[in-house]
Amino acid sequence: MFKQRRQWWWILGTCIALLGVALVRLLAPEYPPGTTRMVVKGVGYSLVIVGLFTIPLAMREDE
């Protein structure tokens, strides 16, 4: 499953998704309600989606 070049997609995807979680759950609440908080949350949610999309790239090399 974890061939050398593929494992990086798994690690990268997971890290990006967790970074997104950190932005939404840890960083965004530190800002007062307003545009900045919304933007940080938006970026966080987007990173989670990007992260979860990155993981399947490890499997696409099987094609």
Distance CA 21, CA 63 (A): 31
In contact, 47 and 20? CB cutoff 8 Å: yes
Q: Is position 43 an interface residue for other proteins (rule: CB under 8 A)?
A: no
- Both structure tokens of 33: 């309600």
CB of 46 to other proteins, least distance (A): 12
Q: Is position 60 an interface residue for other proteins (rule: CB under 8 A)?
A: yes
Choose, by CB under 8 A, the member of 8, 25, 39, 46 that binds other proteins.
25
Q: Is position 20 an interface residue for other proteins (rule: CB under 8 A)?
A: yes
Which position has the token pair 């989670």?
48
Q: Is position 17 an interface residue for other proteins (rule: CB under 8 A)?
A: yes
Q: Is position 28 an interface residue for other proteins (rule: CB under 8 A)?
A: no
Distance CA 34, CA 36 (A): 6
